[in-house]
């Protein structure tokens, strides 16, 4: 890892011409497509199905194929001569998209269904952490209501309740009381999360600031990205219901280089080793959601993909070797990849959502933007759609994000908010206090 304070980073890539396919439709995929398109050696980027932002991105083409259409994606990737498929979201990974594409002869950045269990089954992930000695919250797995209630009875204190499977970020309740814990358990076994809620994990409640760490890996070697901090609550002052993430910044000073190295040694290396021991060849990103408790960093959750909006925040800091590095992860040759250049400055990301988010949202409002992108500022779309008339309209909860880089967080956030001032749509909703942890202004 080398540091520079230049934006965009000056890294280069010696890789041969590459043709990239990014699967997904969120802000994360917009940022990935943008970052790959600017890598030297990348000839073409397709996004399936993409959004209103990727449809207008220079060097990038939309493919109208759903992220769940494994055969359609395989066929298109082979026809287009794609060098690397980068799978953005967890759902397709858990459903075995990477396995299907690999079986068809493609290089894929993203774990197979076995590795994706790190995110897709909380029970499986907790058992792996226990086995690997990874610091995490104490837990109890339960496969029935009575089993879960018996744990609660025995513990006699509020617990964190987590549906076992994928629940679109809504499967976790940090209960304040025993009564709330009981209600959350009942909710899960009454089928609120469908199949994801046929079993659950109860955890002891930890406290402390949260930070996300991302390791790019080919199953043996790993490259860590700067730690990022997300803002999960909808309301200013970190209040109100949880969302997918309303903004982020990186590098989060919560983890300095020495602390990040500790996370590598105590969390990521043992996790990779435990995956290997299970016969899992994990090629993609391991996202460790950490809580910095009094006795050190503990894993709150693992995800098998980039965070959103952490990905939007991080991509502008990465150099032109990114495509070669992701390809090397997919091919199992990360130890031979060019070092990934990481810019030394600060990146700030502010998400704008639709009115009503994270509940029922209004859609179909025209998005008006004045020019706002510069080499140090990006606009990444998420829940948006480009209509045939050429108008871009809102089409989801989180609509877009503005990301900016500068030498310090005050300047980076000032620029991100100034960029957001150039965007307008009916019901536009965003937090004005993103980065309050690191801003003086
Ligand atoms: P998750 O969906 O697993 O990311 O959890 C959502 C949020 O719940 C996390 O970002 C934490 O804020 C909180 N959380 C999860 N597990 C715990 C825990 N064991 N103790 C305290 N808070 C937790
Ligand atoms: N920003 C949190 C996530 O992607 O899960």
Query: What's the gap in Å between 105 CA and the centre of ligand 2?
Result: 30
Domain map (residue ranges) of the chain? 19-112, 138-203
Which listed ligand is nearest to 126 at the C-alpha? 1
- In this predicted structure, what is the pLDDT of residue 189? 85
- In this predicted structure, what is the pLDDT of residue 246? 97
Which listed ligand is nearest to 165 at the C-alpha? 1
What is the CATH class of 19-112? Answer: alpha beta
**What is d(CA 270, CA 367) in angstroms, rounded to the nearest whole number?**
46
Whether the CB of 321 sits within 6 Å of ligand 2: no
Extract the tokens encoding 329: 């992860």
How crowded is the C-beta side of 101, counted as CA atoms within 13 Å? 36
Whether the CB of 363 sits within 6 Å of ligand 1: no
Whether the CB of 301 sits within 6 Å of ligand 1: yes
- In this predicted structure, what is the pLDDT of residue 4? 45
- Residue 113 near residue 92, CB atoms below 8 Å: no
Query: What's the gap in Å between 207 CA and the centre of ligand 1?
Result: 9
**What is d(CA 430, CA 235) in angstroms, rounded to the nearest whole number?**
9
Query: What's the gap in Å between 307 CA and the centre of ligand 1?
Result: 15
pLDDT means per 10 residues, the chain with 441 residues, are: 50 65 98 97 96 94 97 98 97 98 98 97 95 95 88 90 82 88 87 72 93 98 98 94 94 95 97 97 98 93 97 98 97 96 97 96 95 97 95 96 98 98 98 96 78
- In this predicted structure, what is the pLDDT of residue 378? 98
**What is d(CA 252, CA 439) in angstroms, rounded to the nearest whole number?**
12
String of DSSP letters for 73-112:
HHHHHHHHT-SEEEE-SHHHHHTTHHHHHHHTT--EES--
Whether the CB of 27 sits within 6 Å of ligand 2: no
Query: What's the gap in Å between 115 CA and the centre of ligand 1?
Result: 21
169 Cα nearest atom in ligand 2 = 5
334-365 burial, b if ≥16 CB within 10 A, otherwise e?
Answer: beebbebbbbbbbbbbbbbbbbebbeebebeb
- In this predicted structure, what is the pLDDT of residue 199? 86
Query: What's the gap in Å between 318 CA and the centre of ligand 1?
Result: 28
Whether the CB of 206 sits within 6 Å of ligand 1: yes
What is the CATH class of 138-203? Answer: alpha beta
Q: Using one digit for the tens of pLDDT, what is the confidence trace for 104-144?
A: 999 999 999 999 999 999 999 999 999 999 999 999 988 88
310 Cα nearest atom in ligand 2 = 1
Report the nearest-CA residue for atom 5 of ligand 2.
307
Whether the CB of 310 sits within 6 Å of ligand 2: yes
Which listed ligand is nearest to 247 at the C-alpha? 2
- Residue 164 near residue 199, CB atoms below 8 Å: yes
- In this predicted structure, what is the pLDDT of residue 123? 93
Q: Using one digit for the tens of pLDDT, what is the confidence trace for 414-427?
A: 999 999 999 999 99
- Residue 314 near residue 225, CB atoms below 8 Å: yes
Give the phi and the psi of residue 55 in degrees, each rounded to 5: -65, -20
Report the nearest-CA residue for atom 12 of ligand 1.
210
């Amino acid at each position: 890892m080398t540091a520079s304070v230049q934006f965009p980073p000056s890294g280069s890539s010696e890789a041969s011409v590459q043709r990239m396919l990014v699967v997904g439709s969120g802000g994360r995929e917009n940022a990935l497509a943008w970052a790959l398109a600017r890598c030297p050696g990348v000839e073409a980027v397709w996004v399936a199905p993409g959004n209103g932002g990727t449809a207008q991105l220079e060097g990038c083409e939309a493919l109208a194929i759903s992220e769940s259409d494994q055969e359609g994606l395989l066929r298109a990737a082979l026809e287009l001569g794609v060098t690397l498929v980068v799978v953005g979201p967890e759902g397709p990974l858990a459903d075995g998209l990477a396995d299907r594409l690999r079986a068809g002869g493609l290089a894929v950045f993203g774990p197979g269904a076995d590795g994706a269990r790190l995110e897709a089954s909380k029970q499986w992930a907790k058992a792996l952490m226990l086995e690997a000695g990874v610091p995490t919250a104490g837990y109890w797995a339960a496969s029935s209501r009575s089993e879960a209630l018996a744990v609660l009875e025995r513990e006699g204190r509020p617990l964190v309740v987590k549906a076992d499977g994928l629940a679109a970020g809504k499967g976790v309740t940090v209960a304040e009381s025993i009564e709330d814990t009981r209600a959350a358990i009942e909710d899960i076994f009454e089928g609120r999360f469908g199949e994801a809620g046929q079993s659950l994990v109860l955890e002891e409640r930890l406290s402390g600031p949260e930070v996300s760490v991302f390791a790019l890996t080919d199953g043996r070697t790993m490259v860590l990205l700067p730690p990022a901090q997300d803002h999960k609550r909808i309301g200013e002052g970190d209040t109100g219901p949880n969302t997918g993430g309303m903004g982020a910044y990186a590098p989060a000073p919560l983890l300095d280089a020495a602390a990040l190295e500790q996370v590598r040694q105590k969390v990521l290396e043992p996790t990779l080793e435990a995956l290997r021991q299970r016969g899992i060849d994990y090629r993609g990103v391991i996202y460790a959601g950490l809580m910095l408790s009094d006795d050190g960093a503990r894993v709150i959750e693992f995800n098998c993909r980039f965070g959103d909006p952490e990905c939007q925040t991080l991509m502008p800091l990465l150099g032109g070797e990114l495509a070669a590095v992701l390809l090397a992860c997919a091919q199992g040759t990360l130890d031979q990849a060019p070092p990934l250049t990481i810019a030394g400055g600060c990146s700030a990301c502010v998400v704008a959502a639709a009115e009503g988010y994270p509940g029922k949202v209004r859609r179909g409002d025209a998005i008006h933007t004045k020019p706002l992108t510069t080499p140090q500022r990006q606009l990444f779309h998420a829940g948006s759609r480009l209509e045939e008339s050429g108008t871009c309209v809102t089409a989801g909860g989180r609509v877009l994000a503005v990301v900016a880089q500068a030498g310090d967080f005050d300047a980076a956030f000032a620029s991100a908010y100034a960029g957001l001032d150039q965007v307008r749509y009916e019901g536009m909703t965003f937090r004005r206090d993103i980065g309050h942890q690191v801003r003086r202004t």
